[in-house]
Amino acid sequence: MMTFLAAEGAQNPLIPDMTELVVGILCFLIVFGFLGKKLLPNIQKTLEERHDAIEGGLERAAEAQAEANQTLEQYKAQLAEARHEAARLRQEATEQGATIIQQMREEGQRQREEIVAAGHTQIEVDRKAAAVALRQDVGKLATELAGKLVGESLEDHARQSRTIDRFLDQLEGSAANVEATR
């Protein structure tokens, strides 16, 4: 063939050989078929998976972080609520305590006033009773004294004086007796 071509002279190299065209296109299509249908999609998938594995790990970490934050928030909220509740209870207790003290004070005041009032009434009653008794006693004594004075006759001034003194002593003695019995 070479000698034949050489004898024919220069063949145009820009005219492709028919068999070579066929072989060439078959070879390329086989290469493209294997690479395009099977092998490159394979690696494309793997690269995506790898990308996903790396990015996915980061995403999962971010998720965990977010969850932790959320839990922390919840915990803080609960804590704040508990504090608030405690404060509220304390406040309530204080208020109740104050009310009770107030009530007690009022009650005490009232009782005191009652007792004082009762005391005053008692004293008044006693005073009146004493006055009545005194008046009776004084009348009786005056009558007695007058009888004695009249009976003894009025001639002896000294006797009169003694009688009066005796009477007064009696009177004091009876008063002391009353004091003592009381």
Partner 1 sequence: MSAHTLLAESGCHLFTGCGFPAPGLNSFDFKPFLTIGGIEFTKSMLLAVICMVIVVGLFWLAFRKPKLVPGKMQLIGEIGYNFIARSIARDVIGKEGSKYVPFLTSIFFFVWIMNIMSVIPFAQFPSTSRFAYPVVLAFCVWVTYLYLTFKKNGFKGGVKNLVYIEGLPVFIRPLVILLEFIQNVITRPFTLAVRLWANMFAGHMLIVMFSAASWYLLTPSIMSAVAAGSFILAIVMTAFEVLIQFLQAYIFTLLTSIYIQGAIQEGH
CA distance 136 to 140: 6
User: Residues 24 to 43: which contact partner 1 by CB under 8 A?
Assistant: 24-25, 27-28, 30-32, 34-36, 39-43
Cβ closest to partner 1, residue 48 vs residue 85: 48
CB 121 within 8 A of CB 128: no
Asked if 20 is part of the footprint of partner 1 (rule: CB under 8 A), the reply reads: yes
Min dist. Cβ of residue 51 to partner 1 (A) = 10
Asked if 58 is part of the footprint of partner 1 (rule: CB under 8 A), the reply reads: no
Q: Which residue from 167, 95, 174, 99 is spatially nearest to 133, judged by alpha carbons?
A: 174
Min dist. Cβ of residue 43 to partner 1 (A) = 4
Asked if 55 is part of the footprint of partner 1 (rule: CB under 8 A), the reply reads: no
Contacts of 11 (CB under 8 A, 6+ apart): 5
Min dist. Cβ of residue 4 to partner 1 (A) = 9
Asked if 1 is part of the footprint of partner 1 (rule: CB under 8 A), the reply reads: yes
Asked if 44 is part of the footprint of partner 1 (rule: CB under 8 A), the reply reads: yes
The C-alpha angle with vertex 102 and arms to 97 and 104, in degrees rounded to 5, equals: 95
Asked if 60 is part of the footprint of partner 1 (rule: CB under 8 A), the reply reads: no
Q: How many CA atoms lie within 13 A of 67 on its CB side?
A: 6
Cβ closest to partner 1, residue 43 vs residue 98: 43
CA distance 40 to 52: 18
CB 171 within 8 A of CB 141: yes
List interacting residues with partner 1 (CB under 8 A). 1-2, 5-6, 10-11, 13-17, 19-21, 23-25, 27-28, 30-32, 34-36, 39-47, 49-50, 53
